Amino acid sequence: FGLLINQNTSNLLDSSVCALKETIRRKGRFCVAISIGDLTLEKIANFPEIDVFVNFSCKWSSDVFDRSILEHRPVLDQEIAMEMLQNEGDEEETRDFLDTSMAVFEKKSFKGL
């Protein structure tokens, strides 16, 4: 997981970032926080080892829902990522969250990520 943090809002989100990082690590997954300005396909391509990004930065100042970015790697909101991790065993509920996040995923459970 790559946690995308905007430089301007990083102090406001410290507790949210720490909580999600801890949840991801307890699930036995790799997690790294990335300080980023505008989200672009080029920036995401610099992190080939990351399968899923979680956006903590401003959605309005980036192309988070640009189809070319979403086809390359899924970008989730922090709330959706936390819900998915908490309901990891429920494949049907996971697909419901994926549909509402506008992320482009293959049909597979969250365990496969």
**87 contacts: CB under 8 Å, gap ≥ 6:** 93, 94, 97
Q: Residue 41 belongs to what domain range?
A: 2-112
Let me know: does 55 contact 16? Beta carbons within 8 Å. Answer: no
The residues facing 53 across adjacent strands are 2, 75
Q: Say yes or no to pLDDT of 1 above 60.
A: yes
pTM: 0.65
Total number of domains in the chain: 1
pLDDT class for 111, splitting at 50, 70, 90?
very low
Q: CATH number, domain at 42?
A: 3.40.50
Neighbours of 54 (CB within 10 A): 28
- Token duo for residue 90: 């429920």
Lowest mean pLDDT among 10-14, 89-93, 96-100: 96-100
Query: What integer is the mean pLDDT of 10-19?
Result: 72
Residue 40: exposure state from Cβ atoms within 10 A (0-12, 13-18, ≥19): middle
Q: Which of 40, 42, 35 is nearest to 57 (CA)?
A: 35
